[in-house]
Amino acid sequence: MSILKATAAACANIAFIKYWGQRDVELNLPANSSLSMNLDRLTTVTTVEFSPDYDDDVVILDGREERGEARQRIVAHLDRVRAMAGLRAGARVISKNSFPTGVGLASSASGFAALSLAASRAAGLELSQRELSILARFGSGSACRSIPGGFSEWTAGTCSEESFARQIAPPEHWELRDVIAIVSRAHKRVGSTEGHALAPTSHLYQARVASVAGRLAQAKAALLEKDLATLGRIIEEDAISMHAVMMTSRPPIYYWLPGSIKLIHEVQNWRAEGLEVYFTFDAGPNIHLICQAADQAEVERRLRDIEEVLEVIVSGPGPGARVIEP
């Protein structure tokens, strides 16, 4: 067998309607459907090379060889691809993020989306977008949303074949901006996998799951109609709902830091002054501020004047996962 190699890139995504908790852990099926936007400035580039000369899998993330849990998750995903392709060969994986890893910016989403495409193509598989989304879901649930471009809906489904993401609007549909305020670069202590497992211990969990479908329908309609006032209200409500479940799990998970809470109040004050901007959070302390492209510079300027903000990253709607080398 000759050396098989491919490189792919994928964007992280920000969920406007989120999922927190799983209906089936083994199949990585979410408790509810979700809605997201790919982020063009938050990208993972991954090269996968299969060769009979490799006795073991080597995983290098951001220039460092991994030997712990991160490597195990990636090797397990490589095993899925090898099983699909009938391939028996070791692999060398080199992956690099353009943004901080493990701080709640969906690095696992872009990472497993890029890995799924690079590994499957290197193994000689030509998967459809739906098949790629399903494959990526097994590595990381939110990774399935990074396979299509622009704005995507991940349908929870009732079985593995029904649980995948599809594009509902292309990147050029709406010039939204996600102005991300980094208030901490520390690796979060509780990862999303552990958090999903704890979600059902919250007394708020079932109420949240039951309420998501209504919010998703409203958010999807607002997105398609480019109605930021409605979309913004809904995404704030959904983010707070998710973090309320986290904070009432047993044991509780507190991702927010003082800087996170300060920025919530700042955003509310800015809106009262007429600046149309809304906040959301993933599983971490860093805040995503959603606004129109015309307001990006003003939101960014105000953030840079706040002491707790260490860095500002601005993203527009991003493309889907793509091969960038044969």
Q: Using one digit for the tens of pLDDT, what is the confidence trace for 91-139?
A: 999 999 998 776 566 689 999 999 999 999 999 999 999 999 999 999 9
206 membership: H or E segment, kind and range: helix 205-225
So what's the pLDDT on residue 189?
86
Identify the sign of the CA torsion 118, 321, 234, 103: positive
- Measure the CA–CA gap between 104 and 182, rounded to whole angstroms: 10
With contact defined as beta carbons under 8 Å apart, do 138 and 80 qualify?
yes
With contact defined as beta carbons under 8 Å apart, do 276 and 177 qualify?
no
Q: Which fold has domain 176-315?
A: Alpha-Beta Plaits (3.30.70)
Global pTM reads 0.94
What are the domain boundaries of the chain?
4-171, 176-315
- Measure the CA–CA gap between 24 and 160, rounded to whole angstroms: 9
- Measure the CA–CA gap between 21 and 195, rounded to whole angstroms: 8
Supply φ then ψ for residue 16, to 5 degrees: -80, -40
Closest CA to 113 of 90, 86, 147: 147
Count of CB atoms situated within 10 Å of the CB of 52: 11
Instruction: Please state which CATH class domain 4-171 belongs to.
Output: alpha beta
With contact defined as beta carbons under 8 Å apart, do 80 and 57 qualify?
no
Give me the tens of pLDDT residue by residue for the chain, a chain 326 residues long: 556 999 999 999 999 999 999 999 999 999 999 999 999 999 999 999 999 899 899 999 999 999 888 899 999 999 999 999 999 999 999 999 998 776 566 689 999 999 999 999 999 999 999 999 999 999 999 999 999 999 999 999 999 999 999 999 999 999 999 999 999 988 888 988 899 999 999 999 999 999 999 999 999 999 999 999 999 999 999 999 999 999 999 999 999 999 999 999 999 999 999 999 999 999 999 999 999 999 999 999 999 999 999 999 999 999 999 999 75
With contact defined as beta carbons under 8 Å apart, do 183 and 287 qualify?
yes
Residue in this structure with the two tokens 């015309």, named with its chain if needed: 294
pLDDT tens profile 199-213: 999 999 999 999 999
Name 255's Cβ contacts closer than 8 Å, sequence gap at least 6: 104, 188, 190, 243, 246, 281, 283, 284, 285
So what's the pLDDT on residue 188?
83
With contact defined as beta carbons under 8 Å apart, do 54 and 63 qualify?
no
So what's the pLDDT on residue 244?
98
Task: Give the torsion through C-alpha atoms of 184, 185, 188, 189, to 10 deg.
Answer: -90
So what's the pLDDT on residue 306?
98
**Within 13 Å and on the Cβ side, how many CA atoms surround 17?**
30
With contact defined as beta carbons under 8 Å apart, do 178 and 315 qualify?
yes
- Measure the CA–CA gap between 273 and 320, rounded to whole angstroms: 36
Alpha helices per DSSP H over the chain: 69-85, 107-122, 129-139, 192-198, 205-225, 228-247, 258-272, 296-304
Identify the sign of the CA torsion 266, 185, 193, 160: positive
Measured in whole angstroms, the distance separating CA 44 from the mean position of its chain's CA atoms is 11
